[in-house]
Structure 1
Amino acid sequence: MSDTMKAVVLTRFGGPDTFEVQTLPVAPFGARQVRVRVHATAINPLDYQIRRGDYADYVPLPAVIGHDISGVIEAVGADVTEFAPGDEVYYTPKIFGGAGSYAEVHVADVDLVGRKPRNISHVEAASLTLVGGTVWEAFVIRAQLQVGETILIHGGAGGVGTIAIQVAKAIGARVVTTALARDHDFVCSLGADDAVDFASTDYVEAVNALTGGRGVDVVFDTIGGDTLTRSPLVLAPLGRVVSLVDLATPQNLIEAWGRNASYHFVFTRQNRGKLDALTTLVERGLVRPVIGAVLPLDRLAEGHEVLETGSRRGLRGKVAIDVSGEAKTIVPPLMAAA
């Protein structure tokens, strides 16, 4: 095991050009920690928000950021009994709690780490950890989505939406999602029962028509804007709204009163339990990763640009980063031609 590693370091806040590839020392690990050889990571909106400085008070620079890891354990601390060197694992590093995933080696608290699903690759597994844990927290812990309920998932073709559709169907819900018309067949192939073109249709009118005026039991907000204000207009009585988006502007929630609505704001908490539940769904064939782009570690800055512009340029699913050099580079056709 080498004492150094290649890492992509955020040197200042700003655009994708703020990253530098550097050689860094590998951190020591404690009694309840594991040292992991990173095979793959992925990029999330949280990552480019951190990069541009949205959370500058929480991220001292220079910093290695990133929130998805799939890899192989190289060494374990003296008090670790759950894993052994050679085990394949996946997890989300602690958010705002230390070094992230944009590196060849990572040291993690063992309680954050789960066993990688056996039926998918490292690149696929790395695309699941943050979004999968977030969706599980949103649906199971917060909204308590039930069999037979109806959920509206905004942004069904995105990195979070593609997993959200599948988890909601695995729970037994009816899924309505918003997506561009060109993505309707795609989101329905993931399990969506109905798709609404948000570019040409008022989703409030469309959803109320689809539900016969009853509305949905849960709204899952991945897009922000006026979604929190308009969500009560499609909610059934006692409906729940779950949002992943920062409140950048004031929201008028007066309509929520008449429906006795509840609102949940999710900032994902990391733990092995959520990963184990996700692994079960993946290994049973109920959830499959959706990857729209794969790039090597030294092209990570390009990956940030791909994700930030992806919704208008044909990206479906996650942008994954192949750290080990084992996977084929993939860029969406619409983006490659841009």
Structure 2
Amino acid sequence: MKGLYYRITTSQDEEKFVFQENEPAASPSDYHVKLQVKACALTPINTKLVSALYQSKEHVPVGRDVAGVILEVGPKVSFFKPDDEVVGILPLDFVESGLCDVLWVHEHNLVHKPDKVGWVEAAGTIRDGLCVYTALHSLAHLAPGKSVLVPDGASPFGTLAIQLSHHTGATVITTAHSEEDKQYLEKIRPPVARVIDVSKGNVNLTEKGMEETGGLGFDIIVDAGVMLYNTEDSHTKPTLLPHKHEIISLLAVGSHWVTREQHLQLDPPDSNILFLKGASLSYLNEETWSLSSSQQGKYLHILKDVMDKLGGGILRPYLDEPVPIYEAKVFMEMVQRKDVRKRLVVQL
């Protein structure tokens, strides 16, 4: 079976993503199911993480968010039967690419796909939905009446964060990085309380955020990355990411800040402000669930709830047009460079 793989060690002239033929594997255990893949989402590879985990490997499989039909089940499989439509996230140590036609997957990595949900929508929502659910419910304890700031709402993660916050009864404010993003965010229903356009670089996010919250700050802030310090070219090439000091200034008393910035550094004055506000800081690592098997039941419950909300129209993913398999390598290179805004899904 042919699949797409990421080459960990590459020279300057070598391609980072290559198609490779692999022999079809047999069922690894009695708890595995044989899955015919119908769609697979393309998400960036954490190169530092895979380089640290797979020091002895040359290639890492691409595509872990899959949706498809079950062809066979192992003798001890209890959750599924043949012809079931499922969706799931392949484990971090999975050896085959999600772009292969057929895979053997452990049943604890899959949940049922709602009948009214398409393959592309299911595969393109499952990971972002898991991240949003983890950030807002598991880490930030989202509740009705809370005020939520979602920087860069016109992104796959930001869109679902806005929708899940709205569904819970929170007030949502977001930022737009371009005029196109602003138009998209203003069409979201139910509407966000305010879209702050930061594309021109002349907007004071702290001032605007405090104005919208009556000077109280936000109960929850979920970022997609932050700027740690000002660089020499920050004035000539303004970044669209919020500065960490802007985020800290916008936190309310007893608030929650969930960040995806793994290299966040807080100076003593920053920590002192968080202490005075009684605010909490959490790190959102999308691989946490797959790295820990102690809460597998909770993990599957989240995946099922994401699919239920997708089927009920509560979550509506920010997807691009489906990508054919023969163009997967080109588009994966774009995804890795973060040259695309919408979630890309390969339709098999």
Alignment TM class, shorter chain as reference: 0.7 to 0.9
Q: Aligned with 2:22: secondary structure?
A: strand
CA distance in 2, matches of 1:181, 1:7: 35
Q: Deviations over 1:56-78 (max 9, x none)?
A: 01133222132211111121111
Query: Which residue matches 1:63?
Result: 60
Pair 1:54–1:112, CA change in 2 (3 A): closer
Q: 1:154 aligns with which of 151, 155, 160?
A: 151
Query: Which residue matches 1:196?
Result: 196
Pair 1:85–1:245, CA change in 2 (3 A): farther
CA contact (8 A) 2:7 2:17 kept: yes
Deviation at 1:143, TM superposition (A): 0.7
Matched, 1:210 2:205: no
- Structure 1: gaps spanning 5 or more residues: 325-338
RMSD of aligned residue pairs (Cα, Å): 2.1
Pair 1:202–1:307, CA change in 2 (3 A): farther
Matches within 5 A, 1:280-291: 280-291=308-319
CA contact (8 A) 1:232 1:261 kept: no
Deviation at 1:89, TM superposition (A): 0.6
Query: Which residue matches 2:7?
Result: 11
**What count of residue pairs does the alignment treat as equivalent?**
311
Deviation at 1:122, TM superposition (A): 0.7
Deviation at 1:263, TM superposition (A): 0.9
Range with greater deviation from structure 2 (5-14 or 126-135): 5-14
CA distance in 1, matches of 2:170, 2:9: 41
CA distance in 2, matches of 1:36, 1:110: 10
- Structure 2: gaps spanning 5 or more residues: 229-242, 291-298
Matched, 1:320 2:345: yes
Q: Deviations over 1:303-332 (max 9, x none)?
A: 123335556xxx54311112x2xxxxxxxx
The TM-score normalised by the length of structure 1 is 0.85
Percent identical residues? 23
CA distance in 2, matches of 1:97, 1:267: 18
CA contact (8 A) 1:224 1:246 kept: no
Matches within 5 A, 1:207-246: 207-226=209-228, 227-246=243-262
Query: Which residue matches 1:260?
Result: 278
Matched, 1:41 2:40: yes
CA contact (8 A) 2:205 2:246 kept: no
Deviation at 1:151, TM superposition (A): 0.7
Pair 1:300–1:17, CA change in 2 (3 A): farther
